[in-house]
Structure 1
Protein backbone atom coordinates (compact mmCIF):
# COMPACT_ATOMS: atom_id res chain seq x y z
CA UNK A 1 0.00 0.00 0.00
CA UNK A 2 1.00 3.61 -0.43
CA UNK A 3 1.92 6.03 2.31
CA UNK A 4 -1.68 7.30 2.20
CA UNK A 5 -2.71 4.18 4.12
CA UNK A 6 -1.20 4.03 7.63
CA UNK A 7 0.54 0.73 8.35
CA UNK A 8 -0.09 0.79 12.11
CA UNK A 9 -3.73 1.89 12.22
CA UNK A 10 -5.95 -1.13 12.85
CA UNK A 11 -9.42 0.17 12.06
CA UNK A 12 -12.14 -1.02 9.72
CA UNK A 13 -11.84 2.15 7.65
CA UNK A 14 -8.08 1.72 7.28
CA UNK A 15 -8.45 -1.92 6.23
CA UNK A 16 -11.08 -0.83 3.70
CA UNK A 17 -8.78 1.89 2.35
CA UNK A 18 -5.93 -0.61 2.00
CA UNK A 19 -8.13 -3.14 0.19
CA UNK A 20 -9.54 -0.43 -2.10
CA UNK A 21 -6.02 0.65 -3.01
CA UNK A 22 -4.92 -2.94 -3.64
CA UNK A 23 -7.94 -3.54 -5.88
CA UNK A 24 -7.26 -0.40 -7.92
CA UNK A 25 -3.62 -1.45 -8.37
CA UNK A 26 -4.60 -5.00 -9.35
CA UNK A 27 -7.14 -3.77 -11.90
CA UNK A 28 -4.73 -1.26 -13.41
CA UNK A 29 -1.95 -3.83 -13.68
CA UNK A 30 -4.23 -6.47 -15.22
CA UNK A 31 -5.60 -4.10 -17.85
CA UNK A 32 -2.11 -2.74 -18.61
CA UNK A 33 -1.02 -6.33 -19.27
CA UNK A 34 -3.86 -6.77 -21.77
CA UNK A 35 -6.13 -8.85 -19.55
CA UNK A 36 -9.84 -8.36 -20.20
CA UNK A 37 -11.45 -7.88 -16.79
CA UNK A 38 -15.08 -8.85 -16.21
CA UNK A 39 -16.57 -8.02 -12.81
CA UNK A 40 -19.76 -9.22 -11.14
CA UNK A 41 -21.45 -8.13 -7.94
CA UNK A 42 -24.16 -10.18 -6.31
CA UNK A 43 -27.30 -8.69 -4.78
CA UNK A 44 -25.88 -5.20 -4.19
CA UNK A 45 -28.16 -2.15 -4.12
CA UNK A 46 -27.26 1.42 -4.94
CA UNK A 47 -29.33 2.81 -2.07
CA UNK A 48 -26.76 1.54 0.46
CA UNK A 49 -23.65 3.75 0.44
CA UNK A 50 -21.11 0.98 1.05
CA UNK A 51 -22.67 -1.26 -1.61
CA UNK A 52 -22.83 1.60 -4.11
CA UNK A 53 -19.12 2.27 -3.47
CA UNK A 54 -18.36 -1.40 -4.14
CA UNK A 55 -20.41 -1.34 -7.35
CA UNK A 56 -18.61 1.80 -8.52
CA UNK A 57 -15.21 0.21 -7.85
CA UNK A 58 -16.13 -3.00 -9.68
CA UNK A 59 -17.46 -1.05 -12.65
CA UNK A 60 -14.29 1.07 -12.76
CA UNK A 61 -12.21 -2.11 -12.71
CA UNK A 62 -14.12 -3.72 -15.55
CA UNK A 63 -12.76 -3.51 -19.07
CA UNK A 64 -14.70 -1.86 -21.88
CA UNK A 65 -16.69 -4.18 -24.11
CA UNK A 66 -15.51 -4.53 -27.67
CA UNK A 67 -19.07 -5.10 -28.89
CA UNK A 68 -21.74 -3.79 -26.50
CA UNK A 69 -22.53 -0.08 -26.20
CA UNK A 70 -23.36 1.77 -22.99
CA UNK A 71 -27.17 2.05 -22.88
CA UNK A 72 -26.99 5.51 -21.28
CA UNK A 73 -24.45 6.78 -23.86
CA UNK A 74 -24.30 4.70 -27.08
CA UNK A 75 -21.18 6.56 -28.21
CA UNK A 76 -19.22 4.74 -25.47
CA UNK A 77 -18.56 1.03 -25.00
CA UNK A 78 -20.36 -0.74 -22.18
CA UNK A 79 -18.34 -1.86 -19.19
CA UNK A 80 -17.94 -5.62 -18.64
CA UNK A 81 -19.69 -5.34 -15.26
CA UNK A 82 -22.89 -6.97 -14.08
CA UNK A 83 -24.84 -6.62 -10.84
CA UNK A 84 -26.70 -9.91 -10.65
CA UNK A 85 -29.08 -11.47 -8.19
CA UNK A 86 -29.33 -15.14 -7.40
CA UNK A 87 -32.35 -15.26 -9.69
CA UNK A 88 -30.69 -13.50 -12.66
CA UNK A 89 -27.16 -14.88 -12.44
CA UNK A 90 -27.76 -17.79 -14.82
CA UNK A 91 -29.61 -15.48 -17.25
CA UNK A 92 -26.71 -13.01 -17.29
CA UNK A 93 -24.18 -15.72 -18.04
Structure 2
Protein backbone atom coordinates (compact mmCIF):
# COMPACT_ATOMS: atom_id res chain seq x y z
CA UNK A 1 0.00 0.00 0.00
CA UNK A 2 2.79 2.44 0.84
CA UNK A 3 4.37 1.94 -2.57
CA UNK A 4 1.06 2.79 -4.26
CA UNK A 5 0.76 5.96 -2.19
CA UNK A 6 4.31 6.94 -3.11
CA UNK A 7 3.57 6.46 -6.81
CA UNK A 8 0.41 8.53 -6.56
CA UNK A 9 2.12 11.33 -4.68
CA UNK A 10 5.37 11.54 -6.57
CA UNK A 11 4.61 10.14 -10.02
CA UNK A 12 5.96 7.09 -11.72
CA UNK A 13 9.52 5.89 -11.36
CA UNK A 14 11.39 6.34 -14.61
CA UNK A 15 12.15 3.27 -16.71
CA UNK A 16 15.84 4.21 -16.60
CA UNK A 17 15.85 4.21 -12.80
CA UNK A 18 14.01 0.88 -12.69
CA UNK A 19 16.55 -0.71 -15.01
CA UNK A 20 19.52 0.52 -12.99
CA UNK A 21 17.90 -0.55 -9.71
CA UNK A 22 17.32 -4.02 -11.23
CA UNK A 23 21.03 -4.21 -12.03
CA UNK A 24 21.87 -3.12 -8.47
CA UNK A 25 19.59 -5.89 -7.21
CA UNK A 26 21.49 -8.35 -9.40
CA UNK A 27 24.80 -7.10 -7.94
CA UNK A 28 23.46 -7.52 -4.41
CA UNK A 29 22.15 -11.05 -5.01
CA UNK A 30 25.44 -12.10 -6.61
CA UNK A 31 27.43 -10.64 -3.72
CA UNK A 32 25.26 -12.44 -1.19
CA UNK A 33 25.82 -15.72 -3.04
CA UNK A 34 29.55 -15.02 -3.42
CA UNK A 35 29.34 -14.97 -7.23
CA UNK A 36 32.09 -12.38 -7.63
CA UNK A 37 32.42 -12.53 -11.43
CA UNK A 38 28.67 -12.09 -11.90
CA UNK A 39 28.61 -9.25 -9.36
CA UNK A 40 31.46 -7.50 -11.17
CA UNK A 41 29.68 -7.90 -14.50
CA UNK A 42 26.37 -6.56 -13.18
CA UNK A 43 28.13 -3.58 -11.53
CA UNK A 44 29.85 -2.72 -14.82
CA UNK A 45 26.53 -2.95 -16.67
CA UNK A 46 24.95 -0.64 -14.09
CA UNK A 47 27.82 1.82 -14.46
CA UNK A 48 27.43 1.89 -18.26
CA UNK A 49 23.63 2.27 -18.11
CA UNK A 50 23.87 5.01 -15.50
CA UNK A 51 26.25 6.98 -17.72
CA UNK A 52 24.08 6.39 -20.81
CA UNK A 53 20.87 7.51 -19.13
CA UNK A 54 22.56 10.54 -17.58
CA UNK A 55 23.98 11.60 -20.96
CA UNK A 56 20.57 11.13 -22.60
CA UNK A 57 18.87 13.21 -19.90
CA UNK A 58 16.60 10.34 -18.85
CA UNK A 59 17.43 10.70 -15.15
CA UNK A 60 16.68 13.65 -12.93
CA UNK A 61 19.77 15.10 -11.24
CA UNK A 62 18.56 13.95 -7.83
CA UNK A 63 17.96 10.39 -9.12
CA UNK A 64 21.37 10.35 -10.77
CA UNK A 65 23.17 11.45 -7.60
CA UNK A 66 21.39 8.84 -5.49
CA UNK A 67 22.09 6.05 -7.98
CA UNK A 68 25.72 7.18 -8.41
CA UNK A 69 26.21 7.06 -4.63
CA UNK A 70 24.81 3.53 -4.57
CA UNK A 71 27.09 2.51 -7.45
CA UNK A 72 30.08 4.01 -5.63
CA UNK A 73 29.20 1.99 -2.52
CA UNK A 74 29.20 -1.24 -4.56
CA UNK A 75 32.46 -0.22 -6.24
CA UNK A 76 34.11 0.39 -2.86
CA UNK A 77 32.70 -2.85 -1.43
CA UNK A 78 34.05 -4.81 -4.41
CA UNK A 79 37.46 -3.10 -4.46
CA UNK A 80 39.48 -6.30 -3.93
CA UNK A 81 37.55 -8.37 -6.47
CA UNK A 82 39.28 -9.28 -9.70
CA UNK A 83 38.27 -11.31 -12.75
TM-score bin, normalised by smaller chain: 0.3 to 0.5
TM-score where L is the length of structure 1: 0.37
Higher strand fraction (1 or 2): 1
Normalising by structure 2, we get a TM-score of 0.40
Bigger relative contact order, structure 1 or 2 (CA pairs below 8 A, ≥6 apart): 2
* Higher alpha-carbon Rg: 1
Q: Which has the higher helix share?
A: 2
